[in-house]
Structure 1
Amino acid sequence: MVPSFSEHSLVLRGPYLEKMTDDEFFDFCQQHPELRIERTANHEILIMSPTGSHSGKRNARLNGQLYNWFMTCPQLGEVFDSSTGFTLPDSSVKSPDASWVAAEKWNSLTLEQQSRYAPLCPDFIVELASDSDDVKELQKKMLDWQHNGARLAWLIAPKTETVYIYRAGQPEPEVVQGFDQELSGEDVLPGFRLRLAELR
């Protein structure tokens, strides 16, 4: 394995990792539960630093709002927090800061698939930028989510109070400026409203 460093992560790459199976990658992650690990479509392994306190606070508030909505209609699907990995159609494994999967899609999986990195793309995901994140890099990640099948995806940048909304079938995101408003879950999460002011 050949390591390299980006601003916020350690990147591992090499012939062995290119051949690593999904099961082997899952086992590798289980051996290092203290780390946040993702895998690219090229089977590079990304080991990321822990979340800072401000980001952790915001993420808790984000997930709290999503969970409260979920409790009003649990039959529609399942919600997941930032520690959840998904194996996407392009073979990458990613962990959004918050996500939701429609019940039909989730229930089509076996119990074994549900207990590992579920082989699906969530219908809805949120990526919450930290103050030091490169938003342009996160925008590339949002396109990965969109291309893998996310129906609605939000990139939230509290530092500039900007939200980028990605929708299935739309080539460009909608840009929303200012946190004195709410975001709608639209037809993907009917009735969900995210109060952005809580993420300041």
Structure 2
Amino acid sequence: MSQVLNIPSMDTMNDDEFFAFCEANRRNGMHFERDKYGRIIFMSPTGSIRGSRDLDIAIEIGYWAKQNKMGIAFGPATGFTLPDKSIKSPDVAWIRRERWEQIPSALRKKFAPICPDFVVEVISESDTWSEHVDKMKEWIVNGCQLGWLIDPNEKTYMIFSPQNTNPEKQPFGVISGGEVLEGLEIDLTTVFEDID
């Protein structure tokens, strides 16, 4: 579950100061996001099972991206500066190669100013559907073309797009990347097998 830190001096950090702050604390296992109002959000570390599940879905998407070479896949804790000035880190992201290559290399080393074309958010036991649904809607508003919200505990998922920001929950099965990630199909039942 995320927590907003109400420390006034932190709310005034510019992008470079926020990046330096995140880098300094990364070594301590701390992970942060920043909302569109400049508030710093502390993201607590994931539990072991959640971490394994996050890695499994990232591996599937990363392998697909390496094979088709149409874009770049990013794992958990990769920050992106979105058009609304928030800085967010999805569990998995993918950006079309031609868009990524337009970003100057110096900016790629920080929180690149780009919204991913595709994101995955995996709900942990301490998270709520509502906070993640709101986050997925923010991704779409900022330019994301496809978002998967996955709940391994309920074994359900939702697919967000600019055409559908209020999707229905679906039971686990084969999920498709559609036109955004052509050829990507993942059986969520297999990826999120119980490892309790």
| Matched ranges for 1:46-85 at <5 A | 46-74=41-69, 76-85=70-79
CA distance in 1: counterparts of 2:17 and 2:58, whole angstroms: 30
Deviant stretches of 4+, over 4 Å: none
Secondary structure in 2 matching 1:127: strand
Q: CA deviation at 1:174?
A: 3.9
Secondary structure in 2 matching 1:154: strand
Q: CA deviation at 1:71?
A: 1.8
User: Given the superposition, is the C-alpha separation of residues 111 and 142 from structure 1 closer, same or farther in structure 2, using an over 3 Å criterion?
Assistant: same
Give me the CA root mean square deviation.
1.3
CA distance in 2: counterparts of 1:9 and 1:122, whole angstroms: 21
Partner of 1:120: 114
Deviates most, 65-74 or 92-101 = 65-74
What one-letter code is carried by the residue in structure 1 that aligns with 2:55? Answer: A
CA distance in 1: counterparts of 2:51 and 2:176, whole angstroms: 23
Deviates most, 80-89 or 160-169 = 160-169
Name the % identity: 39
Partner of 1:19: 12
What one-letter code is carried by the residue in structure 1 that aligns with 2:23? Answer: Q
Partner of 2:2: 9
**Which residue, out of 178, 191, 196, partners 2:188?**
196
Q: How many residues align?
A: 190
CA distance in 2: counterparts of 1:52 and 1:86, whole angstroms: 23
Is the CA contact (8 Å cut-off) linking 1:129 and 1:156 kept in structure 2?
Answer: yes
TM-score, with normalisation over the residues of structure 2?
Answer: 0.92
Is the CA contact (8 Å cut-off) linking 1:41 and 1:90 kept in structure 2?
Answer: yes
Is the CA contact (8 Å cut-off) linking 1:79 and 1:101 kept in structure 2?
Answer: yes
Q: CA deviation at 1:14?
A: 4.9
User: What are the superposed Cα offsets for residues 113-156 of structure 1, whole Å, 9 maximum, x if unpaired?
Assistant: 11100101000000000122111111111111111111000100
User: What are the superposed Cα offsets for residues 8-54 of structure 1, whole Å, 9 maximum, x if unpaired?
Assistant: 33422354334321111101101101211100001110112111111
Is the CA contact (8 Å cut-off) linking 1:78 and 1:103 kept in structure 2?
Answer: yes
Partner of 1:187: 179
| Matched ranges for 1:80-159 at <5 A | 80-159=74-153
Gaps of 5+ in 2: none
CA distance in 2: counterparts of 1:173 and 1:96, whole angstroms: 19
Partner of 1:36: 31
Secondary structure in 1 matching 2:153: coil
Secondary structure in 2 matching 1:31: helix
Q: CA deviation at 1:105?
A: 0.9
Partner of 1:5: none
User: What are the superposed Cα offsets for residues 33-80 of structure 1, whole Å, 9 maximum, x if unpaired?
Assistant: 121110000111011211111111111110111111112111x11000
Gaps of 5+ in 1: 1-7
